[in-house]
A and B are shown apart, each in its own frame.
Chain A
Amino acid sequence: MSSDAEAGKLESEAPKLAGLRLGPVDAFSRLTGLDTRLLAMLAALVVIWIVLDFLAGGIFLTPRNLFNLAVQGSAVGIMATGMVLVIVARHIDLSVGSVLGFVGMFIAFLQVQVLPLGADWNWPLTIAAGLALGALVGLWQGLWVAYGGVPAFVVTLGGLLIFRGAAFEITDGRTVAPLDPVYQLLGGGADGSIGATASWAVGLVAVAAVAFFSIKARGKRARYGFPVKPLWAEVAMICAWSALIIGFVMVMNAYTKPRSDIPRGIPVPVLILLAVVIVMTFVTRFTTFGRYVFAMGGNPEAAALSGINVKRTTVMIFVVMGILSAVAAVVTTARLNAGTNSMGTLAELNVIAAAVIGGTSLAGGIGTIPGAILGAVIMQSLDNGMVLLGVSSSLRSIVIGLVLIAAVWFDVVYNRNRR
C-alpha cells in the first residue's frame, strides 16, 4: 500500500463527521500521536532552556549542568509517574514528600544502625525493606480512601504530617551517615554512572526497541486492516526519539569525572528512572489495572457498572504510589549519602506540578507517563536554573508556587476550550 493511499484512509477517519477542519498543529498531532498540549509543553521547555542559558551566561546548557539536572530530577520524575495514576483516578497524594523522608530515614537507620554496615547483603536488604514499607504506607492510605471513604486530599494531608513526624521519630531528628559505598552508587555521585561504553549500549538498545515496537505495532494494525499513520510520520517519530536518546547519551558522555577525561555516562538514578518509566508506561497501556484506572477517572459510575472493583483498584493505586516514593527515597538517600529527616520536604508540590504540567488533568481520566517526565524536566530546569542564577530559596519557592497555579490554570483553560 502506498503511503498516499494510507494517508487518504487516515484522513477519511478524521472527524469530518463533526464538521471539524484540522489546523496545522492539530493535523501534526494527529499524525504523530502527540497531543497538542504535550507539544506546547515541549516548546515551553525549549524556551525555558534557552532563556535560562542566556541569563546564566551559557552555563545552563552544559553537559555538567544537564548531568546534574538529570540526577537531581530523578526522584521527582520517579514519583511523578505514580502521581499520574493517582490524579487520573481523580485523587491526589500530598504525602509523597513526607513518605520519601520517612522511608529514606528508615532505610538509612536500618542500614547504618541496625544491620552490620559493610555486609554484602545489607544494602539490598534495606532497599527491599524500604520498598515494603512504602507499599505498607500506600496500603494504609489507600484503605482509608477506598474503604473509609475519606477523600484522598484529607488522608494524604494527614499523611504529610504523620510521615514527616515519623521520619523525625526514627532517630529523634539526627542525621544518619555515611551509607554503604555500593548503595551510594544508586545516587549518581562521582562513580554513580555507567561509563561511555555501557551508555552507548543502553542508547542503542533503546533506539532499537523504539524502532522494533513502532514497527511491530504498525504491522499489527496493518494485519487487522486498520488505518495506520503515513509511513513518513512513523519514520519521523522513530527518528525523533532516536535523536533524543542519542543526544542524551552524548551529553552524559561529554561530562567527565573530576580531574580526568573519563566520560561519566548515564547516571544510575536516571537508569532507575528509565526503568520506572518503562514499567509504568507498560502498566498504563497494556494491563487491565492501567485501563481501569483511566476508566475510573473518566466515569467512576461507569467503571463500577462495568464490574470493575473500584475500591481494590484505588488501594492498588496508592500502593504503587507508596512503592515509587520508596524508590525515590533510595535514590535520594544514596545521593545525599545520608538519611536526614527533612528529605523530600515540599517534594509533593514538584511532583504534582510535574504531572499537571505534563498533561495530567486534575479533572481525572487524562494523563501520560512520558508527559509527566517532561513536566519533571521542566520543574527541575526551573529550580536548577534559578540556583545557577543565585535566586534565593524563598524566591524560588514563590516561583514554583506560581508555576503550579499557572499549570493548573492552563489545564482548566485547555479543558474549557476543548468542550
Chain B
Amino acid sequence: MPTPLVELRNLSKRFGGVQAVDDVSLDLYPGEVVGLLGHNGAGKSTLIKMLAGAYPCDSGEILINGDKVTIETPRDARHHGIETIYQTLALADNLDAPANLFLGRELKTPLGLLDDGAMEHEARVVLQRLNPNFKNIKDPVKNLSGGQRQSVAIARAILFNAKILIMDEPTAALGPQETAMVAELIQQLKREGIGIFLISHDLHDVFDLSDRVSVMKNGRLVGTRDTSKVTKDEVLGMIILGKLPEEETAEELAELH
C-alpha cells in the first residue's frame, strides 16, 4: 500500500454550540477522487476548510505524504500544494478574472511590479480551456454569470500545479456542457496523479467520478466505501439514515423512495 497523499486523523471543529466536525478521519491517495457526501450542514465544507487552512482545527492532525504538517493559514495549505475551490467561490467581485486568478501570488515584472499583461495572458489560456464561451475577461467578476464565476474559481485552483485539489460543489452553477468539461478535467487531473476531494450533492456525478465515497452526517463520518462496491440506494441510505449499507434494512431503503 503506498502512503496516502493526505491523511486527516480525528479532526474536530466546534463553532459555539455546534459541533460542526466530530472526530472525522479520511485519507486520499494520488490519482484518486474521493467523493464527500452528506446533507446540508453535515460538516463537509468545514472539514475541507480545515485542510485548506481557512480554519485551524480544534483537535486532530493532518498528514501529507506521511508527514505531520501544521496548516493554520491558506498560505500554509498552498505551500503544501493544496488548492481549493470554495463553495462560496471566494472571489473579489470588484476585480477582473486575471486579478482573481492570481490573487495572493501575482506575476511580477523584474522590477517587482504587477505584470497584468502576463496575468491576463495566462488567464485567457486557462479560461479558454475551461469555458470557450468566456470572453469578457476584463470585466469585474461581479458582472459575470454564475457559471463564468465558477469557471474562474476552478481555473484558479488548477493554475498552480496543485497536488491536492479540494472541490466544494464545483459544478453547482454550471451548464451541462461546462459540467462535462469539469468532469473531463477531473479525469485528466487524476491521470496526472493529483488527489481530489469532491463535494457534491449530485449522486450521479459522484458515482461517475469518484473512486471512493465518504458520507458525513451531523458532523460525524458515517463511513467510506469503494464506489464500485455500493449502489446509489445504499449511499442514499448512508446520507439520510446515517447507517452503513450492511446496517440498512430493505424496508428502510424502500422508504427512501
Q: Do A and B come from one complex?
A: yes
**Knowing A13-B136, A15-B139, A299-B90 touch, does A305 contact B99 (C-beta < 8 A)?**
no
Q: Is A312 among interface residues, defined by CB-CB distance under 8 A? A: no
> Digit string of B80-93 for contact with A (CB within 8 Å is 1, else 0)?
00001010111111
Q: Is B14 among interface residues, defined by CB-CB distance under 8 A? A: no
Smallest CB separation, B236 vs chain A (Å): 32
Report the separation of the CA atoms of residues A305 and B95 in the bound assembly, to the nearest whole angstrom.
Answer: 15
**Knowing A291-B114, A299-B90 touch, does A224 contact B120 (C-beta < 8 A)?**
yes
Report the separation of the CA atoms of residues A295 and B114 in the bound assembly, to the nearest whole angstrom.
Answer: 14
Contacts of A303 in B (CB 8 A): 92, 103
Report the separation of the CA atoms of residues A100 and B86 in the bound assembly, to the nearest whole angstrom.
Answer: 44
Report the separation of the CA atoms of residues A291 and B107 in the bound assembly, to the nearest whole angstrom.
Answer: 12
One of A15, A226, A285, A298 near B94 (C-beta < 8 A): A298
A307 touches B75 (CB 8 A): yes
Report the separation of the CA atoms of residues A13 and B138 in the bound assembly, to the nearest whole angstrom.
Answer: 9
A295 touches B92 (CB 8 A): yes
Smallest CB separation, B7 vs chain A (Å): 23
> Digit string of B172-206 for contact with A (CB within 8 Å is 1, else 0)?
00000000000000000000000000000000000
Q: Is A308 among interface residues, defined by CB-CB distance under 8 A? A: yes
B120 touches A295 (CB 8 A): no
Q: Is B73 among interface residues, defined by CB-CB distance under 8 A? A: yes
Which 6 A-B pairs rank lowest in CB-CB distance, beginning with the nearest?
A298-B94, A298-B92, A306-B104, A365-B94, A307-B104, A307-B75
A286 touches B74 (CB 8 A): no
Smallest CB separation, B126 vs chain A (Å): 15
One of B74, B124, B145 near A307 (C-beta < 8 A): B74
> Digit string of B212-226 for contact with A (CB within 8 Å is 1, else 0)?
000000000000000
> Digit string of A364-407 for contact with B (CB within 8 Å is 1, else 0)?
01100000000000000000000000000000000000000000
Contacts of A288 in B (CB 8 A): 106, 108, 114
Count, chain B residues at interface, CB 8 A: 36
**Knowing A286-B113, A302-B103, A308-B103 touch, does A294 contact B90 (C-beta < 8 A)?**
no
Contacts A294-B95, A302-B92 given; 18 further ones with Cβ under 8 A? A17-B136, A221-B117, A224-B117, A226-B124, A288-B106, A288-B108, A291-B114, A297-B94, A298-B94, A298-B95, A302-B89, A302-B103, A303-B92, A305-B86, A306-B90, A307-B73, A307-B78, A308-B103
Q: Is A220 among interface residues, defined by CB-CB distance under 8 A? A: yes
Q: Is B121 among interface residues, defined by CB-CB distance under 8 A? A: yes
Q: Is A287 among interface residues, defined by CB-CB distance under 8 A? A: yes
**Knowing A12-B135, A13-B136, A302-B103 touch, does A287 contact B92 (C-beta < 8 A)?**
no
> Digit string of B94-112 for contact with A (CB within 8 Å is 1, else 0)?
1100011001111010000
Q: Is A161 among interface residues, defined by CB-CB distance under 8 A? A: no
Interface of A is mostly: helix
Report the separation of the CA atoms of residues A18 and B144 in the bound assembly, to the nearest whole angstrom.
Answer: 8
Report the separation of the CA atoms of residues A299 and B140 in the bound assembly, to the nearest whole angstrom.
Answer: 13
A-B contacts, 21 listed (Cβ < 8 Å) = A17-B133, A220-B117, A221-B117, A223-B117, A224-B121, A226-B121, A226-B124, A285-B114, A286-B113, A291-B99, A295-B95, A298-B93, A299-B92, A302-B90, A302-B92, A302-B100, A305-B90, A306-B74, A307-B75, A307-B78, A308-B103
> Digit string of A267-308 for contact with B (CB within 8 Å is 1, else 0)?
000000000000000000111100100110111011111111
One of A15, A221, A286 near B136 (C-beta < 8 A): A15
Q: Is B26 among interface residues, defined by CB-CB distance under 8 A? A: no
Instruction: Report the nearest A residue to B88, measured CB to CB.
Output: A301
Q: Is B54 among interface residues, defined by CB-CB distance under 8 A? A: yes
Contacts of A302 in B (CB 8 A): 89-92, 100, 103
Contacts of A220 in B (CB 8 A): 117
Q: Is B143 among interface residues, defined by CB-CB distance under 8 A? A: yes
Contacts of A17 in B (CB 8 A): 133, 135-136, 145
Report the separation of the CA atoms of residues A358 and B43 in the bound assembly, to the nearest whole angstrom.
Answer: 45
Report the separation of the CA atoms of residues A384 and B93 in the bound assembly, to the nearest whole angstrom.
Answer: 39
> Digit string of B6-34 for contact with A (CB within 8 Å is 1, else 0)?
00000000000000000000000000000
A291 touches B73 (CB 8 A): no
Smallest CB separation, B11 vs chain A (Å): 19
Report the separation of the CA atoms of residues A216 and B100 in the bound assembly, to the nearest whole angstrom.
Answer: 24
Instruction: Report the nearest B residue to A301, measured CB to CB.
Output: B90
Instruction: Report the nearest B residue to A299, measured CB to CB.
Output: B92
B92 touches A294 (CB 8 A): yes
B117 touches A306 (CB 8 A): no
Contacts of A295 in B (CB 8 A): 92, 95, 99, 103
Contacts of B145 in A (CB 8 A): 17-18
